[in-house]
Amino acid sequence: MIISTKKQFPTFSQKIDMPLTLSLFTSQLRFFRPFHSKLCVIAGLLFSLTGVAQKKDSLRTLSLSPVTVTTTRLETNEKRLPAALTVLDGSRIQIGQPQLSLFESLGGVAGLFAQNPDNFNQDLRISIRGFGARAAFGIRGIRLVVDGIPESTPDGQADVDNLDMGAMRRLEVMRGPSSGLYGNAAGGVISLQTDNADDMPAVEGQATVGSYGFKSFRVKTGGQKGKFQYVFIGTHNQSDGYRGNSRMESSIFNLKLRYDFDSLTRLSVLANYGISPEADDPGGLTLAQVKENRRQAHPNNLRFLATESVNQGRIGIIFEKRMGKSLIFARVFGTKRDFANYLAFQAAGAGTINRAFAGASWQYQYTQHFGELLYRFRLGVDYETQADTRRRFDNLTGVRGKLTFDQVESFKNIAAYITQELSSRKFTLLTGLRSDAIRMKAEDAFLTDGDQSGKRQYSRLNPTLGVSYELSSTVNLYTNLGTSFETPTLSELSNNPSGTGGLNPELKPQRATNYEIGAKTYFNPRIRVDVALFNINVEDELVPYQITGQAGRVFFRNAGSSRRQGIELSFNTILAKGLSLFTNYTYSDFTYRNYKTTAGEFNGNTLPGIPKHAAQAELRYFRPSGLFVIAQVRHASDLYADDANTVTANSYTNLNMRIGGTFRFGQVGIEPFIGVNNLLNTVYFQNVQINAANGRFFEPAQGQFWFGGAKVNLQKKS
């Protein structure tokens, strides 16, 4: 990772060495001659800007040294953390990116595989060590947290349509089962932090345009007056999409208010509102349809006008108070989400969900030194509640017909937990224990076919244990044991293949145990290597499947057991002043051990939806004059689309490039940039629908995606 010692983004000083730079770019442009003219336009613009006198700022300091992380609830130096965790700062998330999707940044995380970045109807699909791969839409089985406020509902669902990546300054990803810390559906944790007033200019505007009708406009402002700080960020995105029936439009607003009563007491108010009036679904295609026209939407998706609309608002309040060796943390939050969709079939093909999701948390932390030993613990209580009013209607080609399903579903979770850390100069011992009590209920309001109301309740105790040892000043070894408990989500339970209401009585929670060993090496401030080896045993794996005639609706069943083994490796280095390389590789060997359905026996088969090999390399070069070039290569091997391992999605290698600069004219800063994703026009699939009906497994990825834009900002007066 890159850590800034001053500002969120790099600032630069000297004028460009024109002959050297032109020679460098001319040689590169010869290689990419088909794209020569487009690159020359932006290169000429950047070179012309460098002729303007600039403020003398030094090239920002790059470092791969460990930083303090908060995902484990106790602030910990990541070097001593006995767990696999990746941190990306704002420069990896924002600089030169379209900032349309979390997908743009997640390739920098080993052990994580993301699909579906271009279908905003189904949302981004993220899996960490296989957790989340089953998702029909959105994120399942992974905890998503934004500024300390849960984005994931207590039943384990998370949607990303209200996340603005242009507002994110930091991303932490903890890999592996973490229910001992976060409870239900915590196969991994993604923690995002939005911009602070300290990191921002007084005001900033950004406009970006790109292929397939992409447009994005963003405004940021933040400041401080006395003890009060504020941040406001508003963004509008829209795109016509690569395929037919794939248009999207959304607007997202974030407001952060903070009042520091004194240096030890803080109150924060966090508000988010997102509206997406349209996100069309082109649907999955058969292989024959892909060969005929990979940009087409499935005829049924056009016929039934498959689309969705979403409105979501959230507000959270966080209070923090330090008292000597103690810390008190309290939060309350509430989310309201209204959702409507149309699927690609008639019977019960239109639906609405009105969701209310709220929670409260209280935590107490204490720190004590015993000679050379440091002991810390955090004790907490969480309460979360979720209520979904779910209705289904016939889809009369984009118009709601008769009501066929009407049900109120609730999910309540109360938990108590303790996280403890004992550390010395060489050792760190981290333990956690969490007890969750879960109550689920469905109240059937559609009684013409009988009353299918029902209840479920679960109690679960999840431990976690980790140990790290500093073998030398440059090498830390660690091992950990973690568990995961994952109930089916309310959406999954209500999708009953019998067609009735209530909660699917056949579905059971999924349980997993993770064993891991790893090493974190910091040979010097310029080289860092991380490696993790893991083994996960999963019982009652939740597996998706589809039924003929209901394409777009996904049902679930339990596999008996499965085993996941893998290796995660990352190598990051600063090659020279301004030149850095970030690489990672993941090997995944995920197989069913005991799984049989009416379609056959799948013991020994590979779990679908996850490639065996995945890797990314990113080379970043920042000139002292302001110019930057970023080249990124992503690779994923073949993956299976079905449990029988008879359908395969091809492997692919993508090349993405970005060129831009940061230039200053007094207090005014200008950051023009241009980029292209899939530069070599690789043909592959951006998403695979697991166990799809009628052979509709494939969602083709877009070809070359060109984008360009500029930021203009006004710095605060010093």
pLDDT at site 20: 34
Where is pLDDT greater, at 664 or 12? 664
Question: How far are the Cα atoms of 38, 43, 212, 657, 679 from residue 32, in angstroms, in the given order?
Answer: 11, 14, 22, 11, 9
pLDDT digits (tens, 9 = 90+) for 443-471: 999 988 889 899 999 999 999 999 999 99
Task: Decide: 139 and 116 in contact? Cβ < 8 Å.
Answer: no
pLDDT digits (tens, 9 = 90+) for 306-351: 999 999 999 999 999 999 999 999 999 999 999 999 999 999 999 9
* Section 353-366 average pLDDT: 97
Q: Which amino acid makes up residue 226?
A: G
Element (H, E) at 539: strand 527-539
d(CA 675, CA 357): 39
Which residues are 328's β-sheet partners? 321, 364
- Give 306-362 as a DSSP string: -EEEEEEEEEEEEEEEEETTEEEEEEEEEEEEEEEEE-SSSTT-EEEEEEEEEEEEE
Length of the chain: 718
Longest pairwise C-alpha distance within the chain: 80
pTM of the full predicted structure? 0.90
d(CA 677, CA 107): 13
- For 479, other C-beta atoms within 10 Å of its C-beta total 16
Residues 6+ apart with CB under 8 A from 34: none
- Nearest 10 degrees: CA dihedral of 274, 278, 279, 282? 180
Where is pLDDT greater, at 97 or 19? 97
pLDDT digits (tens, 9 = 90+) for 17-67: 333 333 333 333 343 344 444 444 444 444 444 444 344 333 344 567 778
Residue showing tokens 């197989």: 591
Residues 6+ apart with CB under 8 A from 291: none
pLDDT digits (tens, 9 = 90+) for 581-594: 999 999 999 999 99
Answer yes or no: is pLDDT of 714 > 70: yes
pLDDT digits (tens, 9 = 90+) for 108-150: 999 999 999 999 998 899 999 999 998 888 899 999 999 999 9
Task: Decide: 443 and 436 in contact? Cβ < 8 Å.
Answer: no
With 0-12 CB in 10 A as exposed, 13-18 as middle and 19+ as buried, what is 34?
Answer: exposed
Which letter does DSSP use for residue 164 in this model? -
Lowest mean pLDDT among 260-264, 290-294, 552-556: 552-556
Answer yes or no: is pLDDT of 16 > 90: no
Residue showing tokens 């940061």: 662
* Section 539-545 average pLDDT: 93
Which of 236, 241, 312 has its CA nearest to residue 279? Answer: 241
Q: Domains in the chain, ordered, with CATH?
A: 18-714 (2.40.170.20)
pLDDT at site 518: 97
